[in-house]
Amino acid sequence: MTEEMSRVQRNAQTSRKQPKKNSSKAKRYAKYTILTLATLGVVGALGGAGVFAYYASSAPKITNSALVGTSQTQLLDADGNVFYTTGSKREMAKQSEIPKEMRMAVVSIEDRRFYKHHGVDPRRILGAAFANFTGSSLGLQGGSTLTQQLIKLTAFSTAASDQTIKRKAQEAWLALKLEKEYSKNQILTLYMNKVYMGNGVYGMKTAAEYYFGKDLKNLSTPQMALLAGLPQSPSGYDPYVNPKGAKARRDEVLEAMAQNNVITQAQAKKYMALPVTDGLMTTHPSSSTQDEEAKVDDAYIMSTLAEIKKLGYDVNKDGLTVQTNLNQKVQDRAYAIGNTADYVNWKDDDMQVGMTVTDPNNGKVIAQLGGRNLTALQGTNRATNTVRSSGSTAKPIVDYGPAVENLGWSTNHLVLDTPYTYPGTNIQPNDWDHKFMGSMTMRNALAQSRNLPAIRTLQEVGYTKSLEFLKKLGIDIPANEMVGSSAIGINVSTEQEAAAYAAFA
């Protein structure tokens, strides 16, 4: 019995010791896991630091002149001369001209911890991520500090292709360097002088004059709040175009100012009750730097800006220098042809014109005219407009070119200028003189721009072959738009036709 009890006791002791072994094993696993994660963290941090250092080493140099300079875009002609600059003339504000309340309005909505960080704010980055997750972004517009935004405006573009890890690393590195060389208020002043404010306006001093006809020091608090909120989306918060959106943004800035103890909640509520149009200028000088001389290059400017936009750039924010193929002498002549009686006996002042001039050796567009007697800049550009018929300039590319290529016709091929009815209709097209020339060569039919030979030629070539020929020339017309009358006119721009005719050259 005693021996049996002894075995029971030993078994009980053994069972009580077992959990200690399991506990010890679990501790070892936890220890190894922590060590592994710590090692991976160190390796990751070292790797990240190495990548950051590598990217930082190739960061662009930031000069004081670049920081002071504008984000406006310049277009250069073929000789390298500036012929267009976006936006209005910018008024630079001295640091002493910017009221403290104006500075704090910007800080409150854009970078609440501006005076506490050193250019990059990890806490802000985490806060912005949380704000994006919860849908609240008051005072946390993304992870970039105001210093980083100044760097972005100075050295980088807003193009989607430029939004890379390398760019972000360089931006952060340059922001850290900038904070060592400039005071906080100097950085803030540079930012407020450079930022785009909508309607062709750069800088908050210029914006104060444009929107309210005042100096910065004379703005009311809600007016300061409106200006402070504009840089995030100048077009979206434009008080002229979208007063509802502008008021919502202004009120968001006022709330941020209250939370940042710049104003009281009672003041914020009082200011929010005011209409966003309070004190807003209803008339003001044109924001454009372009004068009468700019009308000469107007169509070329519009076409170039449209191409830049297609590439994903913002000409109002990216501070681009764009080399174009504009030949100013040819452009001047084109303008003179359209706007004087020295070359063409225009029927009246209402008669319009579209013109594109290309160099057939390389396809470069060297001049463009979008209309006559312009009363405003950047309106309708008839040179690139594709909703008007080309008239008889279509005949070589719709009819005769395809006939030469597909049917083997020579310029001496005989065509008929005799009465004709469009298939399936009772419509009979005619020429301006309502006469018929009978049998004639293709060369003469084209030289005299006779309609009936052209229409017959398209029917012989066939719509499919004509469309294929046009597509090779860069003119893509939907099949359902190719009809019998297309032989004597298609909806195409002068730009498209100039490129197409280069194939003949």
Residues 246-285 have pLDDT tens digits of 999 999 999 999 999 999 999 999 999 999 999 999 887 5
> Given the structure tokens 């802000």, which residue do they identify?
124
Same domain as 138, residue 81: no
The answer to whether residues 197 and 234 touch, using CB atoms and an 8 Å cutoff, is yes
Same domain as 218, residue 114: yes
Same domain as 142, residue 196: yes
Same domain as 151, residue 202: yes
Comparing 131 with 100, the larger pLDDT belongs to 100
Residue 312 lies in a domain: yes
Q: Does residue 133 register a pLDDT over 80?
A: no
Please tell me the predicted confidence (pLDDT) of residue 287: 46
Instruction: Give exposure, 147-165, as e/b (b: 16+ Cβ within 10 Å).
Output: bbbbbbbbbbbeeeeeeee
Please tell me the predicted confidence (pLDDT) of residue 211: 96
User: Domain holding 485: CATH number?
Assistant: 3.40.710.10
| CB-facing half-sphere around the CA of 211: CA atoms within 13 A | 35
Q: Does residue 139 register a pLDDT over 50?
A: no
Pairing mode, if any, of strands 82-85 and 74-76? antiparallel
Same domain as 78, residue 115: no
Mean pLDDT of the chain: 87
Please tell me the predicted confidence (pLDDT) of residue 202: 92
Rounded to the nearest angstrom, the gap between the alpha carbon of residue 489 and the centroid of all alpha carbons in its chain is: 34
pLDDT band at 59 (very low <50, low <70, confident <90, very high): confident
Same domain as 220, residue 139: yes
Other C-beta atoms closer than 10 Å to the C-beta of 267 total 15
Q: Does residue 58 register a pLDDT over 80?
A: no
| Secondary structure class of 40 (helix, strand, coil) | helix
- Four-point Cα dihedral 490, 493, 498, 503, nearest 10: -50
Please tell me the predicted confidence (pLDDT) of residue 86: 86
The answer to whether residues 89 and 101 touch, using CB atoms and an 8 Å cutoff, is no
Instruction: Give exposure, 202-224, as e/b (b: 16+ Cβ within 10 Å).
Output: bbbbbbbbbbbeeebeebebbbb
> Given the structure tokens 């197409």, which residue do they identify?
500
Catalytically active residues, by annotation = 110, 392
| CB-facing half-sphere around the CA of 504: CA atoms within 13 A | 13
In the chain, the percentage of residues whose pLDDT exceeds 90 is 63
d(CA 100, CA 115): 13
**pLDDT tens-digit map of 351-397:** 999 999 999 889 899 999 999 998 878 888 999 998 889 999 999 99
Alpha-carbon torsion (375, 379, 381, 386), positive or negative = negative
Determine whether 270 is exposed, middle or buried from the number of CB atoms within 10 Å of its CB (0-12, 13-18, 19+): middle
Same domain as 194, residue 108: yes
Q: Does residue 313 register a pLDDT over 70?
A: yes
* Alpha helices (H) along 273-420: 298-310, 328-339, 401-402
Write phi, then psi, for 278 (nearest 5 degrees). Answer: -60, 115
Please tell me the predicted confidence (pLDDT) of residue 166: 82
Same domain as 256, residue 144: yes
Residue 52 lies in a domain: no
The answer to whether residues 139 and 228 touch, using CB atoms and an 8 Å cutoff, is no
Rounded to the nearest angstrom, the gap between the alpha carbon of residue 21 and the centroid of all alpha carbons in its chain is: 67
Q: Does residue 28 register a pLDDT over 90?
A: no
User: Domain holding 264: CATH number?
Assistant: 1.10.3810.10
Closest to 83 (Cα-Cα) out of 95, 71, 75: 75
Please tell me the predicted confidence (pLDDT) of residue 288: 46
Would you state the structure tokens that stand for residue 10, as one six-digit string? 């030993």
* Residue at a domain's end among 350, 385, 420: 385
Please tell me the predicted confidence (pLDDT) of residue 289: 43
How many domains, the chain?
3
Closest to 190 (Cα-Cα) out of 90, 274, 53, 82: 90
d(CA 321, CA 310): 16
Pairing mode, if any, of strands 74-76 and 321-323? parallel
* Residue at a domain's end among 272, 306, 329: 272
Same domain as 472, residue 333: no
Residue 100 lies in a domain: yes
**pLDDT tens-digit map of 192-237:** 999 999 988 999 999 999 999 999 999 999 999 999 999 999 999 9
Can you state the angle between helices 221-229 and 265-272, rounded to 10 degrees? Answer: 80
* Residue at a domain's end among 272, 307, 330: 272
The answer to whether residues 184 and 118 touch, using CB atoms and an 8 Å cutoff, is no
Which of 1-15, 60-74, 343-357 has the highest average model confidence (pLDDT)?
343-357
DSSP 18: H
pLDDT band at 98 (very low <50, low <70, confident <90, very high): very high
The answer to whether residues 76 and 322 touch, using CB atoms and an 8 Å cutoff, is yes
- Four-point Cα dihedral 210, 211, 216, 222, nearest 10: -170
Cα angle vertex 130, ends 127, 131, to 5°?
85
Residue 311 lies in a domain: yes
d(CA 203, CA 189): 10
Same domain as 327, residue 217: no
Residue 137 lies in a domain: yes
Closest to 224 (Cα-Cα) out of 237, 212, 241, 238: 212
d(CA 154, CA 68): 9
pTM over 0.75, yes/no:
no
**pLDDT tens-digit map of 147-194:** 999 998 888 876 666 667 888 888 889 999 999 999 999 999 999 999
Residue 278 lies in a domain: no
d(CA 24, CA 31): 10
Closest to 205 (Cα-Cα) out of 114, 95, 290, 101: 95
| Secondary structure class of 378 (helix, strand, coil) | coil
Full domain range(s) for residue 464:
391-501
d(CA 224, CA 254): 9
Same domain as 201, residue 261: yes
Residue 354 lies in a domain: yes
Residue 110 lies in a domain: yes
Same domain as 308, residue 191: no
Closest to 315 (Cα-Cα) out of 170, 160, 196, 207: 196
